[in-house]
Structure formats: structure tokens, C-alpha cells
Amino acid sequence: MAAAAAVVTPSGLEDAVSRSHGEGAGEAVVERGPGAAYHMFVVMEDLVEKLKLLRYEEELLRKNNLKPPSRHYFALPTNPGEQFYMFCTLAAWLINKAGRHFEQPQEYDDPNATISNILSELRSFGRSADFPPSKLKSGYGEHVCYVLDCLAEEALKYIGFTWKRPTYPVEELEEETVPEDDAELTLNKMDEEFVEEETDNEENFIDLNVLKAQTYRLDLNESAKQEDILESTTDAAEWSLEVERVLPQLKVTIRTDNKDWRIHVDQMHQHKSGIESALKETKGFLDKLHNEIGRTLEKIGSREKYINSQLEHLVQEYRAAQAQLSEARERYQQGNGGVTERTRLLSEVTEELEKVKQEMEEKGSSMTDGAPLVKIKQSLTKLKQETVQMDIRIGVVEHTLLQSQLKEKSNMTRDMHATIIPESAMGSY
């Protein structure tokens, strides 16, 4: 429930939407901050948490065979048609969860009517919706997230769910406790272990005990010489108390290194012993299972042989029927090939017949048609009329020409007579 601390209250969401769109027609729109573009992602994540509290996966998605939406499904555009259908389905389910009856929208319903019904139900809960309904038709965006978040809030109120303060677990700091047996070693134990390892693994090296004894004798000789010179004034009880006080600080702590080869060898021995012990237990089960499987296979083989012996005649009949079927299929394929060839020839002959019929119809229509004859008669009549007119014109021209010739001839005769009379008159004088 740690995510519940970050849930945005519905009133805050309404204020954000009203600030982004303006609360009235005459009011100026308040400028939004730089993070307002990402506010719908926060609302979408809160919506997913609320839907999980309402158990929408069991009650809605599995019943309708729908895929669960992602945490930013309605915040980013992916598939507007699918997102709008998912928005309508979720809205209808949330309204029903809030105690109101609302029919589940279908795929072919009018989207405008569906959006208006959802907004009317939202306003009936006392929520504001000061934005155009077309903003919801795309199926994504801050208005879609706002509507679904408001409906989820109402559904949670109806079922009696209340948000509680998150409880954070108190982390206790654990003190590092190193076991004395494994990690803390005194100097004497270290010397003993090193001496044992050296004697077991490396026999050719110098004996450390001999060297230790020699150094111990030298120290005794030097201390004896110093005791002759120095005299201690320290009380023995105080010295023992100081030794007990300082003794824990004198312990040498050796931390185990995972990269050490000795640890790896120990782990290999442990794993080997574990595998051997597990193998002893599982080998009996595996042998038993192997024997059971072998007996089962033997039973299956004997049963198979018995069935084959009992059904031998049926198998022979089946094989004969299969051979007859293959022969029939071959004959069918051969006959089908002949039919296909004849069908192709028939189609070619039919096409040629259609062409011949079309030519005969064209010739018959041209022979029985009297329109060309009528046109010829009209043309002959017109030619006759034009011929008559030309004859008349020719006659008029010939008449005019004859008159002009006659007139010219009369003029010539008159001129000739006029020239002859004066000559005769002159001769008489």
C-alpha cells in the first residue's frame, strides 16, 4: 500500500483540469506548469492501482477475454479504436460498480451517444466535466484518465474502501557477530594450524617446531639476563586484571574470503557428500521406476502383439481397400484430365459459334434493314430535283446567250445598212 500515499485526490484532479481548460467562458486560462504534460501519467498509474483494488482483472478482463492495460495505456496513443472501446468498457463497469445501472456498450453503438451517457453519469456523481465530449472520442489523453479516475473513486466509495496512511517497516541495524570458533583465532591457534598444515602438506620444508624451540630458548636466556638487571614493581593482581581487560582486543579476526581456494575445496567436498547422500536415496526410487517402466513396456508390447494377431484380417482388408482407393483415385485423375481437356475444347467451339452467330446477326440485320434503300431513294430524288434546276438554269443561260447573239447580229446588219446608204447618196450627187 505504499503507492497509496501518492494518490491524487479527486478534488485536486478536478482543480487541475479546471485550471487547464478554464472554469468559465469569460475567465482567462491559467498557465500550466512545466510538469502538467506528465500529470496524466501519474493519474494513469493511480488509476491502475485503484482498478486492482476493485479486482477488475477477475471481474472484467477474464470474463470479457480482454488483455490487461499497461500503466500508461490511456496516456499515450497506440490504437484509437481499441483504446476507445476499452475506455467505454471500463467506464460502464465502474459505473455499475458504483451502484448505478449502465448497459455495457457494444462495438457498433453510436460513440457520441455512449460518451454523452458516460458524462451524464459522471455529472450525477457531482463531478465536473467542463470539456467537450469530442476529447473522449480519441480514447486517450488526460480527460480520459480524469473520467476513469473519478469513476474509480466513486466505485471505491460505494464499496466502503478508505485510504489509510502507509506504514513503513522499521529497519533494525544488526550488529555483526563473528563466531569465535570460525572467525576469531588466537595467535596460539593460528600457530598450531599453520604448523599442522605445513607438516601435513609439505614434509620437505624446515620444521617450524625446531625453530620455535630455538627462539624460545634464546628468549629465555635474554629474559634471564634482563631479570638479573631489572626488578618489577607491578602488583600481580593488577597485572592479571589488565591482562583480562586487554585480552579481547588482542584477538586476531580473520575474515573468510570467498575467493580462497580452500573454501572452494571445502564447498566441493560438501557438494560431493550431498550428491552422494542424495544419490543413495534417489537411486532406489530410480531403480524402482526403471523396473516399473520396463514391466509396463513389456505389457504394452505383449498387448500390441495380441491386438495385431487379432486384427490381422481387418488390417488385410484395410490394405486392400486402400489399394482399391488409390486405383480409383488414379482413374478419377485420368478421367478428370480428359474432362478438363474436353471442357477446354467445348469452350473454344462455343466461342467460335458465338462469333459466327454474331456475324450472321449483323449481316441479317444489314440485309433486312430498309434505311439504306430509303436514303438512296431520297438521294436520287434530290439529284433529280437538282438536275431539273440545272436544266432550267442552262435553258435560261442559252436563251440569254441566243438573245445576245441575235441582238449583236441585228446591230451588225443595221451598221452595215447605215454604211451602204451614204455611199449611194454620194454617188448620185
Q: Above 70 in pLDDT, residue 172?
A: no
Q: Which residue has the higher pLDDT, 219 or 346?
A: 346
The pLDDT-based confidence of 230 (bands split at 50, 70, 90) is low
Per residue in 282-327, pLDDT (tens digit) is: 988 899 999 999 999 999 999 999 998 888 888 889 999 999 999 9
The domain limits of the chain are: 37-159, 285-368
Please state the φ and ψ torsions of residue 76, each to the nearest 5 degrees: -120, 145
Q: pLDDT grade, residue 422 (50/70/90)? A: low
SS3 call for 253: strand
Q: Which amino acid is at 164?
A: K
Length in residues, the chain:
429
Structure-block grid coordinates of residue 257:
574470503
Surface-to-core class of residue 141, CB atoms within 10 Å of its CB (0-12 exposed, 13-18 middle, 19+ buried) = middle
Of 173, 149, 3, 15, the closest CA to residue 90 belongs to 149
**Alpha helix locations (H) across 205-253?**
208-229, 236-246
Share of the chain above pLDDT 70, in %: 73
In tens, the pLDDT along 77-99 reads 888 888 888 888 888 888 888 88
Do residues 49 and 3 make contact, with C-beta atoms less than 8 angstroms apart?
A: yes
Residue 351: the pLDDT is: 93
pLDDT: which is higher, 310 or 23: 310
Contact 164, 4 (CB under 8 A): yes
DSSP state of 108: T
pLDDT at 367 exceeding the cut of 80: no
- Whether residue 12 has pLDDT greater than 60: no
The pLDDT of residue 76: 84
Q: What is the rounded distance in angstroms from the CA atom of residue 227 to the CA atom of residue 221?
A: 10
> Between residues 291 and 38, which one has the greater pLDDT?
291
DSSP annotation of 176 reads P
Please tell me the least confidently modeled range out of 56-60, 123-127, 342-346, 397-401: 56-60
Backbone φ, ψ for residue 55 (5° rounding) = 60, 50
Strand ranges inside 85-233, DSSP E: 184-185
State how far the Cα of 323 lies from the Cα of 270, in Å rounded to an integer. 67
Higher-pLDDT residue of 131 and 214 is 131
What's the CA angle centered on 84, arms 83 and 85, to 5 degrees? 90
In the predicted structure, residue 361 carries a pLDDT above the cut 70 = yes
Q: Which residue has the higher pLDDT, 249 or 416?
A: 416
CB 2 within 8 A of CB 166: yes
